[in-house]
Amino acid sequence: MSALAGKVIAVTGAGRGLGRAFAEACVAAGAEVVVAELDEKLGKAAAEALKASFVPLDLGESTSITAMAKAIDKRHGRLDGLVNNGAIATGIGGKTYDEIDIETWDRVMRVNVRGTWLAVKACAPLLRAGAAKGKGASIVNLASDTALWGAPRLLHYVASKGAVISMTRSLARELGPDRIAVNAIAPGLVLTESTEYVPAQRHQHYVDGRAMPRAQMPDDVTGAVVFLLSDAAAFITGQVLPVNGGFVMN
């Protein structure tokens, strides 16, 4: 039996990049996937290609997050898994702590931190419904290894992902009684369109620093997410898993 057979999984930011890769992997593992995406064109295209359903989502707007959960409830009545992948990451790096403008800082925190919290809050009733039907339900938050090694010239993003790590641990304790596991993965620098802007020097820094010295691809990350969404990981919660070829080791 496929690892996610019969499960309903929502993936935020699933229109492209890692989010799309997560959605594809979940479908391949047997799940019924909900593509939640800000860019309607990309989201609908991904959903059509994957034979998944699409719901619009703007993680910067609380009303949009609530509407997403209502749409999922109407279509599926439950969730067995939520992948909090959506975030602002593209085009914001390269500035030192004192060069970041307040507007950009607030926008990153609004989407990456508040948006993740509100997505969990909105989807919790659906996850409880999913947990009641099976061995439990799962939330996988997308952190980043930048928060583990303290990447420079990216403070707003690093801080937001550090907050996601802390929220993961606290949420694990609050949602544990409902049999909802909450974990995070911390990928390294993955080669997707969202990281094309990153200077070649930073890419090479990652390659040189890994125990497995090569570029990291989306397929290097998807397996960990599928595992954490599966029943095999039902008793794993509150953990942060670096997935970066050994650039950072716990």
pLDDT tens column, 224-238: 999 999 999 999 999
Task: Summarize pLDDT for 51-104 with one digit per residue, the tens.
Answer: 999 999 999 999 999 999 999 999 999 999 999 999 999 889 899 999 999 999
* Main-chain phi, psi angles of 90, to 5 degrees: -85, 135
pTM surpassing 0.85?
yes
Average model confidence (pLDDT) across the chain: 96
pLDDT digits (tens, 9 = 90+) for 17-28: 999 999 999 999
Q: What is the pLDDT of residue 1?
A: 65
Q: Which residues pair with 81 in a beta bridge?
A: 9, 138
CA distances from 132 to 11, 84, 148, 173, 218 (A): 21, 21, 35, 18, 32
* Residues in the chain, total: 250
pLDDT at 250 over 80: no
Burial of 51 (0-12, 13-18, 19+ CB in 10 A): exposed
Nearest to 9 by CA among 167, 140, 117: 140
For residue 155, give the H/E element and its range.
Answer: helix 155-175
Q: How far apart are CA 211 and CA 76, in angstroms?
A: 42
Q: Which two tokens stand for residue 237?
A: 């919660």
Q: Give the 3-state DSSP-derived string for 85-102, with helices as H, strands as E and coil as C.
A: CCCCCCCCCCCCCCCCCH
Active site residues: 157
Q: What does each C-alpha distance from 97 to 16, 101, 112, 186 come to in angstroms?
A: 29, 9, 18, 22
The model's pLDDT over 176-213, given as tens digits with 9 standing for 90+, comes to 999 999 999 999 999 887 777 777 888 999 999 999 99
- Alpha carbons 40 and 68: distance in angstroms, whole number: 13
Task: Give the Å distances, CA to CA, from 191 to 17, 163, 194, 222.
Answer: 9, 24, 8, 13
Alpha-carbon span 234 to 48, nearest angstrom: 30
CATH of region 8-243, choose from 3.20.20.450, 3.40.50.150, 3.30.499.10, 3.40.50.720: 3.40.50.720
The answer to whether 244 and 186 have CB atoms below 8 angstroms apart is: yes
59-68 long-range contacts, Cβ below 8 Å, gap at least 24? 59/12, 59/13, 59/86, 59/87, 59/111, 59/115, 59/116, 59/118, 59/119, 60/107, 60/110, 60/111, 60/115, 62/118, 65/115, 65/118, 65/119, 65/122, 66/122, 68/10, 68/36, 68/119, 68/122
Per-residue model confidence as pLDDT tens digits over 130-144? 999 989 999 999 999
